[in-house]
């Protein structure tokens, strides 16, 4: 089977987790992603480096965010190193970066400079807060973006500290990949390149879609403050209830007319209970009463009991699990969301797989993260046509590793 | 001009994940035809309140994620209705659905048959739990999020798990679905070959917790799966603190120089000299004590005072705002993350989510908010599908279209 992006060459100038992951999504589907590591003193350091757990036998973060890439290491403070990078960009379809604008400009790889090297280049850059506006140069830290999005205060129960969920980088990585693809498809038709941007802020705001849009349209205090678990708008949707063994249950049945007969049956309530016999009553006059009744009844049995009843009645409700569930779930394995494989030096390991299934061009794991410069010679020779002697000389001078 | 001009998409989706995937395509210029049942259409048209607040005079839930789309009302329970859809399949590039596989099968809308009608078709589904395997259960955002482990690890120990926000997982599933569709279109443009793809809610939400799930998969350490108190963080100076009038996020790396700089801004010389907090290991080991000390100090001044001190010292920090703060943030408006557009339902300008992705040459645009149910049915049948007005009359008589 072929790869969706078999003819796409990407120069990957990324340092942040989310930037590297965005480029990895392209590599997973067959783009030749060349990760350039900067050996120069002016290199960009990650703003929020993630420490590996001390027990780790291998770099599991790199296994995800650098997988399927090729590694090239260049000293970009050296004119020869910059020249090689420029030659590489001239051969590339896409430049994918999360580096600060001033570093890129110093390298001659601001959008105008890069486009001079390759006129139809797709130039994708991720940032903290977007390419315009007063805060465009704030550091790209997801915590800062999440703090400005408005979700942190409303996630917990009232009175609890604001919650940082950490999902922003994942939205942003996928937005950068999607934007790149939109531009590549446009380029297929017209031959035109362009600039693509997304940011941690845009990712966080997108993740907050429905809450944010509701506030934009409806305003009011209720949407900007945490709502107590026992004060939900719809007792059958978006509410958590504790089971007898302390495990948490969640229900999502927005259209209560459709689901009420099934839920009433499972809970031992009369379908025609006059307090709850219409959507208006369940979500209006008797809303809090229904929450109270459900809370009381769920507390009578353990989580597993309720899961079995929910499955029987085909209700949209479940027990809340921890990571043990996906780690051992055959469904996650079967769909390659979690992979189990042999890793040199580490034995059998589990690693995150691919969130998109494609029948003709499936994602595949061709290689783990490259070491710095692992493919330098191959790239300089194969793609840029440098001879062995010249490469040797560059290595000796420390321009290439 | 849009990046996806000339791409026609059949959008047979309801609620949020599928519609928002198609919204990305529509924003960037694809012709997206939302196919709906004549009675009531997409259930999201029926949303009347959110968190017990009435939606008011325009249903933003439906109208924003279905912007830039046309609406074709057709009854797929009727053979004549399915024949209309077949003709549309022959003339489209993408078929997208988030309806249950059994429902699609009952209307004979499986991949194999549609591929026979149009070998170049990109056939995309949003299943709940993946294209393979035995799981066959209803799937809404929160019930799937519950299975990923994402919710269980958030919040203070002993507090209920945390749901990431309304439709947050749907939003991610939709984004990945759009990415899959673009990958398939790119491949098809190059090779002429269509294919099927699936971006499920479960797969997307597992990816949404990638950093911690990956660490758990690699180490099996329970601490990655469990709630962790704000009072016992890995790095006490990278944490949430409450000032006199609100919360702040402080982002100071656990390094001696950075800690010394922070101490100077706090006006607490004794803190910097406290031997317990000397060195990164010390601060990690005595995290609880350091958080308590910082709690006491930060509570003494306002958010504005701290932000002023930290900004001038070059320390990264932000007030923790509400949705109201985001809604008036110039940074969000200047980058088109928020926009104003005309809403025909109420005949006035309204504020909406804009574009999380910027494109310099072919930016996204909003030409209209969500369509009225079936508003484009007759024109699409006549112009795009080539039905005569007599045939259209017949379809109406049969109840295949309204």
Structure confidence by residue, pLDDT tens digits, B75-126: 999 999 999 999 999 999 999 999 998 999 999 999 999 999 999 999 999 9
d(CA B46, CA A256): 12
pLDDT of residue A345 exceeding 90, the answer is no
Which has more pLDDT, B1 or B301? B301
Confidence of residue A162 (pLDDT cuts 50, 70, 90): very high
Q: Report which of B337, B248, B158 is spatially closest to residue A242, judged by C-alpha positions.
A: B158
Separation in Å, CA of A116 to nearest CA in chain B: 16
Phi and psi at residue A324, in whole multiples of 5°?
-55, -35
Q: What is the helix, strand, coil percentage profile of chain A, to 5? A: 40, 15, 45
Cβ of B358 within 8 Å of Cβ of A197? The answer is: yes
- Distance, in Å, from the CA atom of B347 to the CA atom of B343, rounded to the nearest integer, reads 5
Return the structure tokens found at B173.
């599933």
Say what the pLDDT of residue B221 is: 96
Cβ distance of B225 and A322 shorter than 8 Å: yes
What average pLDDT score do residues A152-171 get?
97
b or e along B97-134 (b: 16 or more beta carbons within 10 Å of the residue's beta carbon)?
bbbbbeebeeeebebeebbebbeebbbbbbbbbbbebe
Confidence of residue A50 (pLDDT cuts 50, 70, 90): confident
Secondary structure element (H or E) that encloses residue A338, with its range: strand A338-343
Residues of chain A numbered 234-273 and touching chain B (CB < 8 Å): 234, 238, 240, 242, 248, 250-255
- The DSSP letter of residue B56 is T
Nearest by Cα to A286 from A300, B142, A294: A294
pLDDT at B151 over 80: yes
- Return the DSSP state at B134: S
Kindly determine whether residue B171 and residue A210, on different chains, have CB atoms separated by under 8 Å. Answer: yes
Distance (Å, whole) CA B103 – CA B10: 16
User: How close, in Å, is residue B105 to chain A by CA atoms?
Assistant: 18
End-to-end CA distance of chain A: 34
The answer to whether the complex's ipTM is over 0.95 is yes
| Phi/psi-derived region of residue B108, left when phi > 0, alpha when psi is between -120 and 50, beta in every other case | left
Rounded to 5 degrees, what are φ and ψ at A369?
-55, 135
State how far the Cα of A211 lies from the Cα of A228, in Å rounded to an integer. 16
Cα separation, A158 vs B155, whole angstroms: 12
pLDDT-based confidence at residue B253 (cuts at 50, 70, 90): very high
Residue A48 is predicted with a pLDDT of 83
Q: What is the mean pLDDT of residues A296-310?
A: 97
Q: Hey, how many other C-beta atoms are within 10 angstroms of the C-beta on B214?
A: 22
> Which chain B residues are within 8 Å of A228, Cβ to Cβ?
none
Q: Do B330 and A53 touch (CB under 8 A)?
A: no
Q: What is the mean pLDDT of chain B?
A: 96
Contacts of B49 in chain A (CB under 8 A): 233, 283
Nearest CA in chain A to B50: A233
Say if the Cβ atoms of A323 and B203 lie within 8 Å: no
- The residue-averaged pLDDT of A364-382 equals 95
Tell me if B240 and A164 make a contact (CB, 8 A cut-off). Answer: yes
What token pair was written down for B189? 């443009």
How many distinct helices (H) and strands (E) make up chain A?
A: 17, 12
- Residues in A touching B332 (Cβ below 8 Å): 201, 205
Q: Is the pLDDT of residue A1 over 80?
A: no
Q: Please state, in angstroms and rounded to a whole number, the distance separating the CA atoms of residues A38 and A20.
A: 14
Contact A60 B325 (CB under 8 A): no
- Residue B360: partners with Cβ closer than 8 Å, 6 or more residues away: A111, A194, A195, A196
Contact B322 A153 (CB under 8 A): yes
Distance, CA of A46 to CA of B263 (rounded, Å): 24
Q: Which residues of A touch B335 (CB under 8 A)?
A: 129-133, 199, 201-202
d(CA B184, CA A29): 10
Give the chain B residue whose CA is nearest to the CA of A21.
B210
What's the DSSP call for residue A241? E
Please count the other Cβ atoms lying within 10 Å of the Cβ belonging to residue A349: 16
B142 to A238: CB separation less than 8 angstroms, yes or no: yes
Best A48, A221, A335 member to test B by mutation, with max B CBs in 10 Å, is A335
Give mean pLDDT, residues A120-140. 97
CA distance B290 to B274: 10
So what's the pLDDT on residue B268?
Answer: 85
Per-residue pLDDT tens over the stretch B201-231: 999 999 999 999 999 999 999 999 999 999 9
Q: In chain B, whose CA is at the least distance from the CA of A348?
A: B218
CB A130 within 8 A of CB A197: yes
- Show residues of chain B in contact with A250, CB under 8 Å: 142-143, 146, 151, 163
> A 350-379 residues with CB below 8 A of B?
350-352, 354-361
Write down the pTM of the prediction.
Answer: 0.98
Enumerate the β-bridge partners of residue A199.
A127
Q: How far apart are CA A304 and CA A8, in angstroms?
A: 49
Assigned token pair, B358 = 């910027």
CA proximity to A251, closest of A199, A319, A185, A303: A319
Q: What is the CA radius of gyration of chain B?
A: 26
What span, in angstroms and rounded, lies between the C-alpha atoms of A211 and B384?
37
**Which residues have C-beta within 8 Å of that of residue A241, sequence separation ≥ 6?**
A248, A249, A250, A251, A294, A295, A298, A299
**Tell me, what DSSP letter sits at residue B224?**
G
In which element (H, E) is residue A60 found?
helix A60-65
Assigned token pair, A60: 């599991």
User: d(Cα A253, Cα B22) in Å, to the nearest integer?
Assistant: 24
Distance CA B227, CA B155 (A): 6
Q: How far is A190 from chain B (nearest CA, A)?
A: 9
Task: State the count of interchain CB pairs (< 8 A) between A and B.
Answer: 505
Q: Write out chain A residues lying below 8 Å of B211, CB-based.
A: 17, 50, 61, 166, 169
Q: Tell if the CB–CB gap between B320 and A147 is shorter than 8 Å.
A: yes
Q: What's CA A347's distance to the chain center, in Å? A: 27
Q: B212 to chain A: which residues are within 8 Å by CB? A: 166, 323
The per-residue pLDDT for B136 is: 79
pLDDT of residue B45: 96
Which residue among B50, B185, B359 places its CB closest to the CB of A214? B50
- Per the prediction, chain A carries an average pLDDT of 96
To which residue do tokens 């000796």 refer? A396
B30-72 per-position pLDDT tens digit: 999 999 999 999 999 999 889 889 999 999 999 999 999 999 9
| Interface contact A317, partner B, CB < 8 A | yes
A156 in reach of chain B (CB within 8 A):
yes
Q: Are B362 and A186 in contact (CB under 8 A)?
A: yes
* Residue B34 C-alpha, separation from nearest chain A C-alpha, in angstroms: 20
Name the minimum distance, in Å, from the CA of B209 to any CA of chain A: 7
List CB contacts of A67: < 8 A, sequence separation 6 or more.
Answer: A24, A27, A28, A365, A367, A368, A369
Residue A248 token pair: 């948490």
A29 touches chain B (CB under 8 A): yes
**Which residues are within 8 A (CB) of B91 and not within 5 positions of it... i.e. 6 or more apart?**
B8, B384, B385
- B358, A194: Cβ pair inside 8 Å? no
Contact at CB, B325 and A61, closer than 8 angstroms:
no
């Amino acid at each position: 089977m072929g790869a969706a992006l078999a003819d796409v060459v990407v120069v990957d100038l990324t340092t942040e987790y989310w930037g590297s992951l965005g480029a990895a999504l392209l590599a997973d589907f067959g783009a030749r992603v060349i990760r350039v590591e900067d050996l120069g003193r002016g290199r960009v350091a990650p703003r929020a480096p993630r420490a590996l757990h001390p027990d780790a036998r291998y770099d599991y973060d790199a296994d995800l965010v650098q997988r399927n890439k090729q590694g090239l290491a260049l000293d970009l403070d050296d004119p020869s190193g910059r020249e090689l990078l420029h030659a590489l960009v001239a051969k590339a379809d896409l430049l994918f970066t999360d580096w600060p604008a001033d570093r890129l400009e110093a390298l001659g790889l601001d959008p105008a400079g890069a486009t001079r090297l390759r006129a139809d280049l797709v130039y994708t850059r991720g940032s903290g807060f977007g390419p315009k506006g007063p805060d465009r140069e704030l550091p790209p830290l997801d915590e800062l973006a999440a703090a400005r999005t408005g979700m942190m205060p409303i996630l917990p129960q009232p009175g609890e500290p604001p919650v940082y969920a950490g999902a922003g980088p994942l939205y942003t990585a996928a937005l950068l990949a999607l934007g790149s693809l939109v531009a590549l498809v446009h380029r297929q038709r017209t031959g035109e390149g362009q600039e693509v941007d997304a940011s941690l802020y845009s990712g966080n705001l997108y993740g907050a879609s429905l809450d944010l849009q509701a506030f934009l349209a409806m305003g009011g205090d209720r949407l900007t403050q945490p709502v107590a678990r026992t004060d939900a708008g719809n007792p059958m949707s978006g509410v958590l209830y504790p089971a007898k063994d302390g495990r948490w249950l969640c229900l999502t049945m927005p259209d209560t007319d459709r689901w009420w007969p099934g839920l009433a049956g499972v809970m031992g309530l009369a379908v025609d209970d006059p307090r709850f016999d219409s959507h208006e009553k369940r979500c209006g006059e008797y809303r809090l009463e229904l929450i109270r009744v459900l809370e009381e009844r769920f507390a009578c049995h353990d989580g597993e009991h309720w899961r079995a009843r929910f499955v029987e009645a085909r209700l949209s409700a479940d027990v809340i699990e921890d990571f043990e569930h996906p780690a051992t779930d055959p469904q996650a394995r079967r769909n390659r969301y979690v992979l189990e494989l042999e890793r040199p030096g580490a034995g059998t390991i589990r690693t995150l797989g691919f969130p998109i299934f494609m029948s003709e061009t499936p994602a595949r794991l061709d290689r783990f993260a490259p070491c710095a410069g692992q493919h330098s010679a191959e790239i300089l020779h194969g793609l840029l046509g440098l001879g062995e002697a010249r490469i040797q000389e560059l290595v000796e001078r420390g321009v290439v590793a | 001009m849009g990046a996806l001009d000339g791409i026609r998409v059949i959008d047979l989706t309801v609620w949020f994940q599928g519609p928002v995937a198609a919204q990305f395509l529509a924003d960037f210029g694809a012709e997206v035809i939302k196919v709906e049942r004549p009675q009531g259409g997409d259930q999201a048209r029926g949303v009347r309140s959110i968190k017990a607040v009435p939606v008011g005079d325009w249903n933003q839930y439906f109208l924003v994620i279905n912007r830039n789309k046309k609406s074709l009302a057709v009854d797929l329970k009727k053979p004549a209705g399915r024949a209309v859809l077949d003709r549309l399949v022959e003339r489209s590039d993408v078929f997208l659905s988030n309806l249950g596989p059994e429902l699609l099968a009952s209307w004979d809308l499986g991949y194999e048959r549609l591929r026979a009608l149009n070998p170049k078709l990109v056939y995309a589904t949003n299943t709940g739990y993946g294209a393979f395997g035995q799981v066959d259960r209803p799937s809404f955002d929160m019930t799937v999020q519950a299975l990923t482990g994402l919710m269980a690890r958030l919040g203070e120990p002993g507090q209920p798990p945390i749901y990431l926000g309304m439709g947050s997982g749907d939003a991610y599933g939709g984004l990945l679905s759009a990415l899959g569709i673009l990958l398939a279109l790119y491949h098809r443009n190059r090779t002429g070959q269509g294919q099927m793809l699936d971006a499920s809610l479960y797969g997307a939400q597992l990816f949404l917790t990638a950093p911690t799930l990956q660490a758990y998969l690699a180490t099996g350490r329970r601490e990655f799966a469990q709630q962790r108190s704000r009072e016992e963080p890995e790095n006490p100076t990278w944490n949430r603190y409450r000032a006199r009038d609100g919360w702040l996020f402080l982002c100071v790396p656990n390094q001696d120089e950075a800690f010394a700089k922070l101490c100077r801004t706090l006006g607490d010389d004794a803190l910097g000299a406290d031997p317990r907090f000397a060195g990164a290991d010390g601060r990690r080991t005595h995290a609880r004590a350091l958080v308590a000390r910082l709690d006491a100090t930060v509570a003494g001044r306002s958010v504005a005072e701290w932000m002023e001190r930290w900004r001038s010292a070059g320390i990264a920090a932000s007030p923790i705002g509400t949705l109201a703060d985001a809604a008036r943030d110039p940074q969000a408006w200047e980058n088109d993350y928020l926009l104003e557009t005309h809403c025909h339902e109420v005949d006035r300008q309204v504020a909406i989510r804009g574009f999380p992705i910027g494109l310099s040459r072919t930016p996204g645009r909003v030409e209209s908010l969500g369509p009225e149910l079936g508003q484009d049915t007759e024109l699409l049948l006549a112009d795009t599908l080539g039905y005569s007005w007599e045939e259209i009359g017949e379809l109406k008589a049969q109840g295949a279209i309204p």
